[in-house]
Amino acid sequence: MKISVIGTGYVGLVTGVCFADLGNDVICMDIDKEKIEKLSKGIPVIYEPGLEELLKRNLKEKRIKFTTSMKETVEDSEIIFIAVGTPPDENGEPDMRAIWNVAKQIAQYINGHKIIINKSTVPVGSAERVYKIIKENLTNNHEFDIISNPEFLREGSAVYDFMNPDRIVIGGSEERAIEKVKELYQPLDAPILITDVKSAELIKYASNAYLATRISFINEIATFCEATGADVELVAKGMGLDKRIGPHFLNAGIGFGGSCFPKDTLGLVTTAKKFGVECSIVKSTIEVNNQQRIKFFEKIYNYFNKELKDKTFGIWGLAFKPDTDDMRESPSIEIINLLLEKGAKVKVFDPAAIENAKKIWKEKIEYTSGMYEVCENSDALIILTEWNEFKQADLKRVHNLLKTPVIFDGRNIFGAKKLRSKGFDYFGIGIKQ
Ligand code: UGA
The helix/strand/coil state of 123 is coil
Residue 91 has pLDDT above 90, yes or no: no
**pLDDT tens sequence across 358-404:** 999 999 999 999 999 999 999 999 999 999 999 999 999 999 999 99
Interval 167-184 mean pLDDT: 97
The per-residue pLDDT for 392 is 93
Ligand 1 nearest-atom number relative to CA 10? 12
Q: What atom in ligand 1 is closest to the CA of residue 249?
A: 36
Indicate the domain borders of the chain. 2-195, 228-427
* DSSP string computed for 389-424: HHHT--HHHHHHHSSS-EEEETT--S-HHHHHHTT-
Which protein residue's CA is at the shortest distance from atom 12 of ligand 1? 260
**pTM: predicted TM-score of the whole model, two decimal places:** 0.96
* 260 CB within 6 A, ligand 1: yes
- Dist CA 85 CA 397 (whole Å): 44
Superfamily of domain 2-195: NAD(P)-binding Rossmann-like Domain (3.40.50.720)
Q: What is the pLDDT at residue 244?
A: 98
The yes-or-no answer on residue 260 being catalytic is yes
b (16+ CB within 10 A) / e for 301-320:
bebbeeebeebbbbbbbbbb
The one catalytic residue among 18, 28, 260, 279: 260
Same fold for the pair 2-195 and 228-427: yes
For the beta carbon of residue 61, count every other beta carbon within 10 angstroms.
Answer: 11
Position 213 scores a pLDDT of 98
Q: Are 231 and 431 contacting, i.e. CB atoms less than 8 angstroms apart?
A: yes
Order of strands, edge to edge, in the sheet holding 425-427? 366-367, 345-349, 312-316, 380-383, 406-409, 425-427
Nearest atom of ligand 1 to the alpha carbon of 253: 33
Q: Per-residue pLDDT tens for 312-321?
A: 999 999 999 9
pLDDT tens per residue across span 191-216:
999 999 999 999 999 999 999 999 99
For domain 228-427, the CATH superfamily is: NAD(P)-binding Rossmann-like Domain (3.40.50.720)
Q: How far is the CA of 343 from the centre of ligand 1 (A)?
A: 32
Residue 46 Cα to ligand 1 middle (Å): 17
Question: pLDDT digits over 111-139, tens only?
Answer: 999 999 999 999 999 999 999 999 999 99
Test site for ligand 1: of 321, 328, 385, 390, most ligand atoms within 8 A of the Cβ: 321
Q: Which residue owns the Cα nearest ligand 1 atom 22?
A: 256
Q: Mean of the per-residue pLDDT values for the chain?
A: 96
Q: Pick the residue whose CA is nearest to atom 25 on ligand 1.
A: 256
154 CB near ligand 1 (under 6 Å): yes
> How many whole angstroms from 8 Cα to the centroid of ligand 1?
20
Q: Whose CA is nearest to atom 2 of ligand 1?
A: 154
User: Which percentage of the chain shows pLDDT scores above 70?
Assistant: 100
Q: Is 271 in the pocket of ligand 1 (CB under 6 A)?
A: no
pLDDT at 43: 97
User: Where does residue 415 fall: left (phi above 0), alpha (psi -120 to 50 degrees), or beta otherwise?
Assistant: beta
* Binding site membership of 249 for ligand 1 (Cβ less than 6 Å): yes
pLDDT (tens digit per residue) in 234-248:
999 999 999 999 999
DSSP state string for 301-358 = HHHTTT--TT-EEEEE--SSSTT----TT-HHHHHHHHHHHTT-EEEEE-TTTHHHHH
What is the predicted pLDDT for the residue at 90? 86
Q: How far is the CA of 154 from the centre of ligand 1 (A)?
A: 6
Q: Which residue minimizes the CA distance to atom 7 of ligand 1?
A: 152
pLDDT tens for 240-293 read: 999 999 999 999 999 999 999 999 999 999 999 999 999 999 999 999 999 999
Q: What atom in ligand 1 is closest to the CA of residue 204?
A: 11
Secondary structure (DSSP) of 48-117: -TTHHHHHHHHHHTT-EEEES-HHHHHHT-SEEEE-----B-TTS-B--HHHHHHHHHHHHH--S-EEEE
Residue 97: pLDDT above 80? Answer: yes
Residue nearest to atom 23 of ligand 1 (CA): 256
